[in-house]
Amino acid sequence: MHPVYNSQGFSIFPGIFIMWQTLLSSLTPRLWFFIGFLGCVGLLAFGAYLQFAEELEPCPLCISQRLAILATGLILLIGAAHNRAVKAYAFSAAVMALVGASLSARHVWLQHLPPDQVPECSPGLDYVFQHFPLADALRLMLTGTGECAQIDGVFLGMGIPAWTLVAFVLLAAFSLAVLWLERIKAP
C-alpha cells in the first residue's frame, strides 16, 4: 500500500495515527465508561421509540435484552462514578453484555427456526406474572415463546435481535477496551 500524501508532501497516515493516539491518550476510564453508558441509553431510547412510536410490542426475549442493556449501562455508569477498580467494572460490564448477547443469539435462532419447530405463543407477560409461579415467568422471559420468532423489522438484511446481538458484542469489546486504553497510557 502506497502512502497518501497531502499538498505539502507529508504522508497523511502518520498524522492520522498521531491524532488518534492523542485522542485515545486523553480519554480516562471514567470518560470511557460514561461513553459506554451513553451508548446503552441510546439503545434503550431506540427500543422505547420502536415500542411507543412504531408500536412494536416487545416479546419476552426483547424485554430480557433490554434488561441486559440496562444492567450493562448501570455497571458502566457505576464504573464511571466510582473511577476505581477499572478491571472489575470492565469485566463485569463485558460479562453482562455477553449475557445479553446470548439472549440475542437465542432470539435470532428462534427467528430462523422452521415454522413447525417454533414454540407455542404464551399469554401476555402481565397474565403470566399474575397467574404463574415466578420461575415459570422467568423461564419464558429467558427462553422465548412463539411471538419471539416473529420478525418485525429488518434493516440491511438483519432483524432487530441480530442488530442487538451486534450491539452487545460491541459493548463487550468496548468495555474491555478500557484495559487496552490503560495499557497504552502507562509509561
| CB of 61 closer than 8 Å to CB of 106 | yes
86 in a structural domain? yes
The CA-based dihedral angle spanning residues 99, 101, 107, 111, taken in that order and rounded to the nearest 10 degrees: -160
DSSP 3-state assignment of 159?
Answer: strand
What pLDDT does 54 receive?
86
What pLDDT does 41 receive?
96
17 in a structural domain? no
The CATH number of whichever domain residue 169 belongs to comes to: 1.20.1550.10
18 in a structural domain? no
132 in a structural domain? yes
Residue 155 φ/ψ region, left for φ over 0, alpha for ψ in the -120 to 50 degree band, beta for the rest? beta
How many domains is the chain partitioned into structurally? 1
Residue numbers of the domain that contains 35: 28-185
12 in a structural domain? no
* Length, in residues, of the chain: 187
11 in a structural domain? no
Question: The pTM is what?
Answer: 0.75
1 in a structural domain? no
Tens of each residue's pLDDT in the chain, 187 residues = 455 555 555 555 556 666 656 666 667 888 889 999 999 999 999 999 988 898 888 887 888 899 999 999 999 999 999 878 888 999 999 999 999 999 898 888 877 776 676 556 555 666 666 766 777 766 666 565 556 666 677 678 777 888 899 999 999 998 998 887 766 665 5
38 in a structural domain? yes
